Amino acid sequence: MEMVKTKDSPPSNKKHVFSERLIDKIRERSDSLFLSPSPRLSRKRGSSAGPSIIEPQGHQRIVVLGPSSVGKSTICATYAGVDYDLSALRYSKKNEIYNSGVFIQSETANHVKQYNIEISVPKGTRWDGTVNGYKELLLESDGYLLVYSKENRQSYMKLVELVSDIQKLRKCCIPPIVVVGNKDDLDFSNTLGIHDSEHHVLGSFPHFNVSALENDGLQEAFKCLVQMVAQQKILTLT
């Protein structure tokens, strides 16, 4: 009789009770995850600096000067990130114009200063002690990037003449000038060393060794020049 009674008794509901409790615990756990993010996630969110705020700083005009075959066109095209045909540029009589932007961290947190720059490479400069045909361009430019080749000492000495011409035109102030030694990718034994006597005139200006071929040092050179121009504009207004 006991066996029959046991068989006829209602089935146990322990399995159903266990399942309901398990589901409730899973729901509670899920709610806690949504309401209380993990400490690691909280720290990551708390340390986020947020999106940067761009501060437009206006327009700057930069002219790139130097003897022929020192890499002026390659420097500008590489820096601006544009494709170019060097042979076509070499025989073109038109001035080259490149547009780019420079972003510099501001003193204020999360703020970045944006400078739009127009880079000009004049054609046909004659090195006869004057700046024939380019007086207006030099006067209207805000900054000057002077380029020489590290394998050609004479190209460096030509910049001394050009600095003198620029200073004669810009009598009111010391013009923002950055000197660039291109072709730094060449073997060191083939590059020239500048003596102290030769470096006397250009030594007062910032100097960068760059490689237009490897896009090395160009960002730093242009950034330095843009900062110099910006600083001079501030001083002019005060």
Which has the minimum average pLDDT: 3-7, 152-156, 176-180, 233-237? 3-7
Q: For residue 113, give the amino acid letter.
A: K
Taking the CB of residue 201, how many other CB atoms lie within 10 A of it? 14
Q: At what angle do helices 218-237 and 72-80 cross, to 10 degrees?
A: 90
User: Quick one: 52-186+193-237 is in which CATH superfamily?
Assistant: P-loop containing nucleotide triphosphate hydrolases (3.40.50.300)
Domain borders along the chain are: 52-186+193-237
- 41 has a pLDDT exceeding 50: no
Taking the C-alpha atoms of residue 113 and residue 186, their distance in angstroms, rounded to an integer, is 35
**The Cα angle at residue 168 between residues 128 and 59, in degrees rounded to 5:** 105
Which has the minimum average pLDDT: 25-34, 37-46, 188-197? 37-46
Taking the C-alpha atoms of residue 93 and residue 205, their distance in angstroms, rounded to an integer, is 30
DSSP 211-229: BTTTTBSHHHHHHHHHHHH
pLDDT at 50: 66
pLDDT at 200: 60
Query: Are the CB atoms for 198 and 155 separated by under 8 Å?
Result: no
- pLDDT > 90 in the chain, percent: 33
Mean pLDDT across the chain, nearest whole number? Answer: 76
- 233 has a pLDDT exceeding 50: yes
**The Cα angle at residue 20 between residues 8 and 28, in degrees rounded to 5:** 170
- 15 has a pLDDT exceeding 60: no
Query: Are the CB atoms for 222 and 79 separated by under 8 Å?
Result: yes
Structure confidence at residue 16 as a pLDDT band (50, 70, 90): very low
Taking the C-alpha atoms of residue 236 and residue 177, their distance in angstroms, rounded to an integer, is 17
Which has the minimum average pLDDT: 20-24, 47-51, 154-158? 47-51
Q: What is the CA radius of gyration of the chain?
A: 33
Residue 219 main-chain phi, psi, to 5 deg? -60, -45
